[in-house]
Structure formats: C-alpha cells, structure tokens
Amino acid sequence: MTGIQLNTYTEPAQLLAEERQKTKFPVREMTYYLDGGKKQTEELERIMASIERNPAFSNDDQYDLDKDQQREITFARVGELTKMILHTMNEAEAMKRVALINLLDPSTGTRTGVHFGLFFNSIRGSGTDDQFGYWVDKGAGSLEKFFGCFSMTELGHGSNVAGLETTATYDKSTEEFVINTPHVGATKWWIGGAAHTATHTVCYARLIVDGKDYGVKQFVVQLRDSDHNLKPGIAIGDIGKKMGRDGIDNGWIQFTNVRIPRQYMLMKYSKVAPDGTVTEPPLNQLSYGALVGGRVSMVYDSVQTAKRFLTIALRYAAVRRQFSSTPGEKETRLIDYTYHQRRLIPLLAYTFAMRASAEEVMNFYIKTTKQLQAVDTSNKTSLQSAIDDAKELFALSAGMKAFSTWATAGIIDECRQACGGHGYSGYNGFGQGYNDWVVQCTWEGDNNVLTLSAGRSLILSGIDAREGKRVGDAVSYMSREKELHTRKLNGRSLTDSKVLIEAWECAAARNIGVGADAYLALIAKGLNQAQAFEELSQQRFECARIHTRLNQVHAFFQSIEHANEQLKPVLTDLATLFALWSIEKDGASFLSSGYLTTSELDEVTTLVDSYNHKIRDQVIGIVDSFNLSDFFINAPIGNYDGDVYKHYFEKVTRRNPPRDHKAPYHDKIDAFFNRAVPEDEDLSEMDV
C-alpha cells in the first residue's frame, strides 16, 4: 500500500463539496420545479422549520425505541400535529404538513391521517351536507373529545370489500341499525387508532333490510364514551407488534348488537328511508372516494420517500472509496463505477417520473372529485360523464398507487444495498424506513389486486375505443391502435422524446389489444365476464404495468415543457434515461410489438450507460434540490456536508455510550465462561 495517502475521516466532506461544483444547473430553480414554484418551496420550508424546531419531533432516538415507547411518542406528536393543522385552518397546508410528517415519522402521519384522511373524508365524501355538519359539530373537525378511525378490513377479508361480513340490519320499529359481528372471521382487523385512541369509527357493514342484502355501506358507530370507556356491545383489542409503524395503535373490533340511529348511515349516495325503502346510487364505487384520495396521496408519498433514500445513497456513493484498479493509487469512489451508476441513477430518474405522474393523477382527482360533488343526478348525460371519469380515476389511481409504492420499496432496498454494510445499520434509516414503507404495497388496496383491477379496466377501454366510444385521456392512444401496430423505429433517434413516447404507446397498445382479443375470444366460448378476466390475470397485470410506465414517461417529458430553460438539459437527460432504461428492462415488449429489432435494443443498452455517465456529475446537485435537511434525512451517512464517518461514529457512540463494557446480561456470560468443565473437556495436559 506504499504511496497511498488516505484520510477517510477528513476527505469525504471535501469530496462532496467538489461534487457540488460540477453542477451545471441552478439547484434552487430545480427545487422550485419539483415543488411547483417558488411560493410552494418557501411554504414547505416554513412548515419544515416549524416541525424541526418543535421538541416533540426530536428524532435522535428514533431508531432505538420499542413498540410501547413508539406508541407514546407518536401520540404526543399526533397532539402537536393536530394543533398545527387546526391552527392553520388551511386544508392544503395541512396536507403538506402531514406529508412531511409522513417522511419524518410515518406512524404519526398515519395515526393523524386515519382520522382526517379516512374517517373525516368519508363523512365529507359519503355523507349528506347535514350529516357532515352534524359530525363537525360533534368534534370531528376539531378533535375535541373525539377521534375517528376507519373500520373496513376484517380478519377474513381485506381487498375484497364487497365480501365483508359485518352486518347492519335495519329495525323499522326503532329506526335504528343493529351492527353485528357474526363470527370471528368478521372481526374488524388492522384498524388504526382502534386499540387506544378512537372514540368513533366509520364502519363498513352489509346493509340488511327486510332480510335483503344490499351490499356494503358505511355507518358511523361510537366506540367509547366521554371517559374513554367502551360503549355497550363494543369489544376492542390491540393486534400488537407489526413489521413496521409500531407507533400506530392498530386494533381489532367486534360489535355485538350495537344500535345506532338511522341517520348514522352515510347517505349521500345509498339511502334508507324511515320505512326501510332503499335507494341505490348509479355507481356504488362513488362512496369509496376516501380510498381513492388515499391512493393518490400514496403516489406523492412514494416520491418523497424515494427522494430521502436516494439522497443518502448518492451522497454516500460520492464520497465512499472501495478498491483500486491500479496498485498504489487511491481507491475508486462508488459513484464512478459503471455498475453503481446503473444501480442508482436510473432510480433517480424514476423518482422524477413518479413526481410528474403524481401531479397528473392529483389534478385528475381534484377535477373528478369536484365534478362528482356538483353532478346533477337527474341529468343523465352529466351523470354518465361523471361516472366515466370516476371509473377512469379508479383505474388510473389503482395502477399509479401500485407501481409507485412498489418502485419506492425497491428504491429503499437498492439504496440500502448500495451503501454496503453501513446501509444495514439501524442508524442510517434503511431498516426502519423499509419496514415502515412496505405496508403501502398492501393497505388501501393490495397492489396485485389493484393492478388486476386496472388491467381489467384497460382491456374494456380498449374494446370501447375500437367501437368508437368515449374513453379517458389516459387511454386515448387506443383510438390509434391500428396505426400503432404498424409503427417501427425505422432509423429514427432513440433519444427523441416523441420517438420514446411512441415506442411506449406501441408496447401498451399491443398489450391491451392482445388482452382485448383474448377476452372477446373467451366470451365467445361461453365464459362469463368474471371467468374470462380470471383466465387473463397475467395479461391484465401486463396491461396495467406497461400502461402505467407509458403514463410516467409521457408525464415526465410533458412536465419539462414548462420548466425553467436552465433546467431543461438535465431534465431531458433524466427523462430520456428513464424511458430508455425502462425499455431495456422490458425489452421483450418492444421486440414483440415489432417497434425495435434486437440490434436496436442493443443500442438502448449502450445509451443507458452513456446517459448514466452524462448525468453522473449532476447527481449531487439533483439530490440537493430535493431540499431535505439533515433532520428529515436522519441518516449520518447522508448528511449535507458529506462528513459521513464523523457523523456516523458520533451517532453510534452517542446512542450507545462506551461507559460499561460489561453486557446487561453479564451474569449469563459469566456463568457460561466459568461453568464447571467435565473431565473429558479438560485439555490442560495437551501436548502441542
């Protein structure tokens, strides 16, 4: 090792400072682009500062807490967050605050979000104006002696909401519903807030009137009285430790003939008159608006969480040295290895694509929600238009939620592995971050189930497009299905955004077209719709996967059109890399669609390497533009100044002070080493 002059303690900070000097775009302008403008960035910074300065959110001990400690601290933080939300009286700002808390402490964000995002929004979205006003007056808006939870999933049913078994039987004589858990399998399960906190719940139960089952509806049920004692007929327990998010008091609930007034059924859509007359909406899914809102917010959460872990991994990669190709020279930094670039830089591009598509789905959600709230149900044309948009929103949000949360789970773990042994340390956040995150792939719609649902919708939309019927903007390319089937690269540039979008349209159109043909063939053989779609499960999944990636590619390129001119070069490089890397990952689809030949696919691989090398010098500037402070990053190897070993060592020794070198269980160690040694173990006379 002669000739090597290394100081791994002092060098990293200098290296990261040098990396920043390579940035060719205005970092602050990139932050504005990502946040939606200067005003939004300044607002986010103000909110972040207020959180960081609040002692309740101190997070130095975050990775050392047990379940009970997490529960206690989380509830204290819920109180502080609630004060912040109620103080602002601004829903948009409140949502931003909760989103940032989700990044810092997902348990607190979820525990608060269950009330405001699920319970409160269910009443607002599925209740009448009078019902909403009533529950606001009761304290649902201010959380005064009130906390709501959301009782949908059961021990025996999760994603299949239509199969839930809790019953709400109408008693005409008293104008009450009787809520009942018929057996253990119908126990409400995974209910956030139920174990310790909630006073009320929105309960999903089967409406039974005169012995007829009208399917699952929503009912408000009081769980605890003003002294927080359980109401008669209510049984509640704690489901205990989970894989992550232990700060949430998830519980189970059983109802034994619990009576509630008729007005406690949420009746914006389905209605039950005093005499038991039931009026049904034209589309039952209209009452599930709170779930759609949750899915849309999870796409945003995916972006924020991906930003955090990519910042850690890329800053670390820029300063960590490992091996040398030439004896006597300095070891190479991780970021300079071609394969390491391939592991992380495309994921950076992916995060930008998710952000752009999140903007699109959020705008569509806002537009559709307003349309549904204002729709005149007596106007058939207006109603049908609203229903069509609602169906498209359900499908779009399902696919986006599934593939974004899956992507972020993959990003967290790839970033962990890219940080080597230090990525495995609890103090660098990856372990808790992954465990806290992956529930997003399951709750509010299991990702596989959502994907199959989205694929089903896409195949039906493909058939509608062939018949000249109205289809949503997201699948409008299917109206050009025949033309797309004939398109090929034909010598055009694989770095042209229009060519890349067209390539993805061809792949998506082929998948949906194949699915539509197969579906129609199965129907012609006598299968019913459900049977046909079950046979096409894999094709449905592929349709949703390719369509969602097309949506992300298109949204990313489209978002660049309105960006600052100084940002366009690096953004275009990122978007091009994302589209090319995605083609490389999915080469079979482009070969089978006929758009690319094998030699052209080889060119894609060469271009991916080229764009990774091109973007390499910009990655530190890019992650800096994410604008996350060390407090929100909460990983010493990802700190802004790059002094990774200093911060990491200090964190470990601060949390585990080397005062007593004897273990807390030293008596057991002592007993083992000083145990009586049997004669056949006595080696003292061994002659070596």
SS (H, E, C) 158-174: CCCHHHCCCEEEEECCC
Backbone φ and ψ of 208, nearest 5°: -115, 120
Lowest mean pLDDT among 107-116, 411-420, 671-680: 671-680
Q: What pLDDT is recorded for position 282?
A: 66
- What is the mean pLDDT of the segment spanning 611-624? 98
- Do residues 217 and 278 make contact, with C-beta atoms less than 8 angstroms apart? no
Distance of CA 154 to the CA centre of its chain: 22
- What is the mean pLDDT of the segment spanning 625-651? 96
Lowest mean pLDDT among 131-145, 296-310, 417-431, 656-670: 656-670
Query: What is the token pair recorded at 201?
Result: 């719940």
**170 Cβ contact list (under 8 Å, min separation 6):** 176, 177, 178, 207, 208, 209, 210, 262, 272, 276
- What is the mean pLDDT of the segment spanning 219-245? 96
Other residues' Cβ atoms within 10 Å of the Cβ of residue 342: 15
- CA Rg, the chain, in Å? 28
Other residues' Cβ atoms within 10 Å of the Cβ of residue 59: 13
Better-predicted residue by pLDDT, 605 or 390 = 605
How deeply is 315 buried, as exposed, middle or buried, from its count of CB atoms within 10 A (0-12, 13-18, 19+)? buried
Please state, in angstroms and rounded to a whole number, the distance separating the CA atoms of residues 586 and 581. Answer: 9
Lowest mean pLDDT among 456-460, 508-512, 660-664: 660-664
Lowest mean pLDDT among 229-243, 413-427, 471-485, 558-572: 471-485
Q: What pLDDT is recorded for position 200?
A: 98
With a cut of 60, say whether residue 683 has pLDDT above it: no
Pick the closest to residue 345 from 313, 321, 319 (CA basis).
313
Per-residue pLDDT of 580-600, as tens digits, reads 999 999 999 999 999 999 999
% of the chain residues with pLDDT over 70: 95
Better-predicted residue by pLDDT, 626 or 685 = 626
- Do residues 532 and 510 make contact, with C-beta atoms less than 8 angstroms apart? no
**20 Cβ contact list (under 8 Å, min separation 6):** 620, 621, 624
Query: What is the token pair recorded at 184?
Result: 């253990």
Please state, in angstroms and rounded to a whole number, the distance separating the CA atoms of residues 572 and 576. Answer: 6
Q: What pLDDT is recorded for position 281?
A: 76
Please state, in angstroms and rounded to a whole number, the distance separating the CA atoms of residues 453 and 159. Answer: 11
Confidence of residue 83 (pLDDT cuts 50, 70, 90): confident
- What is the mean pLDDT of the segment spanning 287-297? 71
With a cut of 50, say whether residue 478 has pLDDT above it: yes
Per-residue pLDDT of 65-75, as tens digits, reads 999 999 999 99
Q: What kind and span of H or E run contains 278?
A: strand 278-279
Confidence of residue 1 (pLDDT cuts 50, 70, 90): very low
With a cut of 60, say whether residue 289 has pLDDT above it: no
% of the chain residues with pLDDT over 90: 77
- What is the mean pLDDT of the segment spanning 409-425? 97
Confidence of residue 170 (pLDDT cuts 50, 70, 90): very high
- Give the per-residue SS3 of 14-25: HHHHHHHCCCCC
Pick the closest to residue 595 from 656, 661, 676, 504 (CA basis).
504
Q: What pLDDT is recorded for position 287?
A: 55
Cα distance from N-terminal residue to C-terminal residue, the chain: 36
Pick the closest to residue 422 from 648, 654, 104, 629 (CA basis).
648
Please state, in angstroms and rounded to a whole number, the distance separating the CA atoms of residues 384 and 382. Answer: 6
With a cut of 80, say whether residue 222 has pLDDT above it: yes
With a cut of 50, say whether residue 2 has pLDDT above it: no
With a cut of 80, say whether residue 38 has pLDDT above it: yes
Pick the closest to residue 270 from 200, 202, 221, 219 (CA basis).
219
- Do residues 314 and 344 make contact, with C-beta atoms less than 8 angstroms apart? yes
Please state, in angstroms and rounded to a whole number, the distance separating the CA atoms of residues 398 and 410. Answer: 18
Query: Is position 584 annotated as part of the catalytic site?
Result: no
CA angle at residue 532 from 527 to 538, to 5 degrees? Answer: 155
Give the DSSP letter of residue 180: E
Kindly list the distances between the CA atom of residue 505 and the CA atoms of 459, 512, 592, in Å, as whole numbers in the listed order: 15, 10, 13
**537 Cβ contact list (under 8 Å, min separation 6):** 452
Q: What pLDDT is recorded for position 383?
A: 72
Query: What is the token pair recorded at 347?
Result: 């994921």
In 86-187, DSSP assigns E strands to 148-151, 167-171, 176-180
Other residues' Cβ atoms within 10 Å of the Cβ of residue 95: 17
Residue positions counted in the chain: 688
Confidence of residue 91 (pLDDT cuts 50, 70, 90): confident
Show the DSSP H helices in 586-657 as ranges: 587-592, 598-616, 619-625, 630-633, 644-655
Kindly list the distances between the CA atom of residue 32 and the CA atoms of 8, 99, 178, 280, 474, in Å, as whole numbers in the listed order: 35, 18, 53, 46, 27
**334 Cβ contact list (under 8 Å, min separation 6):** 316, 317, 318, 320, 321, 322, 340, 418
Handedness of CA 436, 437, 442, 444 (dihedral sign): positive
Q: What pLDDT is recorded for position 512?
A: 96
Backbone φ and ψ of 636, nearest 5°: -60, -30
Please state, in angstroms and rounded to a whole number, the distance separating the CA atoms of residues 456 and 95. Answer: 32
Better-predicted residue by pLDDT, 683 or 430 = 430
With a cut of 80, say whether residue 397 has pLDDT above it: yes
Q: What pLDDT is recorded for position 326?
A: 78
Pick the closest to residue 550 from 496, 612, 613, 474 (CA basis).
474
Please state, in angstroms and rounded to a whole number, the distance separating the CA atoms of residues 555 and 293. Answer: 20
The active-site residue out of 444, 502, 584, 600 is 444
Q: What pLDDT is recorded for position 470?
A: 84
- Do residues 444 and 294 make contact, with C-beta atoms less than 8 angstroms apart? yes
Q: What pLDDT is recorded for position 92?
A: 79
- Do residues 612 and 346 make contact, with C-beta atoms less than 8 angstroms apart? yes
Strand partners, 279: 271
| Residue 224 amino acid letter | R
Pick the closest to residue 216 from 152, 264, 156 (CA basis).
152
Distance of CA 372 to the CA centre of its chain: 25
Q: What pLDDT is recorded for position 283?
A: 60
Strand, coil or helix: what is 509? helix
Q: What pLDDT is recorded for position 286?
A: 54
Instruction: Please write down the long-range contacts of 604-609, taking CB distance under 8 Å and 24 or more positions apart.
Output: 604/494, 604/580, 607/494, 607/495, 607/580, 608/342, 608/346, 608/577, 608/580, 608/581, 608/584, 609/338, 609/342
Confidence of residue 681 (pLDDT cuts 50, 70, 90): low
What is the average pLDDT score of the chain? 92
Query: What is the token pair recorded at 682?
Result: 């006595």
Other residues' Cβ atoms within 10 Å of the Cβ of residue 493: 11
Q: What pLDDT is recorded for position 547?
A: 96
Per-residue pLDDT of 319-357, as tens digits, reads 999 988 777 788 899 999 999 999 999 999 999 999 999
Other residues' Cβ atoms within 10 Å of the Cβ of residue 170: 21
Please state, in angstroms and rounded to a whole number, the distance separating the CA atoms of residues 60 and 538. Answer: 46
Name the range with the highest mean pLDDT among 287-301, 625-639, 666-680. 625-639
Token pair 């204002």 is at which residue?
A: 374
Q: What pLDDT is recorded for position 684?
A: 58
Q: What pLDDT is recorded for position 41?
A: 96
Strand, coil or helix: what is 579? helix
Helices 568-585 and 338-374 cross at an angle (nearest 10°) of: 100
